[in-house]
């Protein structure tokens, strides 16, 4: 089991590299498609997915998941295959 440390900035840091999965707004996909995709790919519940979709719509982007870079890269590829615009950024 990997050791986890809570730092002053309250972000959980593991011995692996942590990153953020960012979803960007587009003028193509419906709210329903974005919500369904976030539930399927990221494991969000419907309320969380709806909130992320609204933030993306009004702000242009939203951090939808924090975690290990390898896992987030896989999620990003899956979202992109569904026609959404996402990418993984470092913390």
Tens digits of residue pLDDT in 20-79: 999 999 999 999 999 999 999 999 999 999 999 999 999 999 999 999 999 999 999 999
18 or 13, higher pLDDT:
18
Contact 33, 82 (CB under 8 A): yes
Q: Check if the beta carbon of residue 59 is closer than 8 Å to that of residue 65.
A: no
pLDDT at 17: 73
Q: How much is the pTM?
A: 0.80
Residue 76 burial (10 A CB sphere; 0-12, 13-18, 19+): buried
Domains, the chain, ordered by start: 4-90 (3.30.1390.10)
């Amino acid at each position: 089991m990997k050791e986890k440390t809570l730092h002053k900035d309250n972000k959980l840091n593991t011995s692996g590299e942590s990153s953020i999965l960012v979803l960007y707004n587009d003028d193509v996909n419906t709210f329903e498609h974005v919500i369904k995709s976030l539930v399927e790919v990221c494991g969000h519940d419907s309320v969380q997915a709806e909130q992320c979709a609204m933030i993306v719509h009004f702000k242009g982007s939203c951090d939808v998941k924090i975690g290990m870079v390898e896992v987030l890269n896989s999620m990003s590829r899956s979202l992109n295959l569904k026609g959404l615009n996402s990418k993984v950024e470092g913390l």
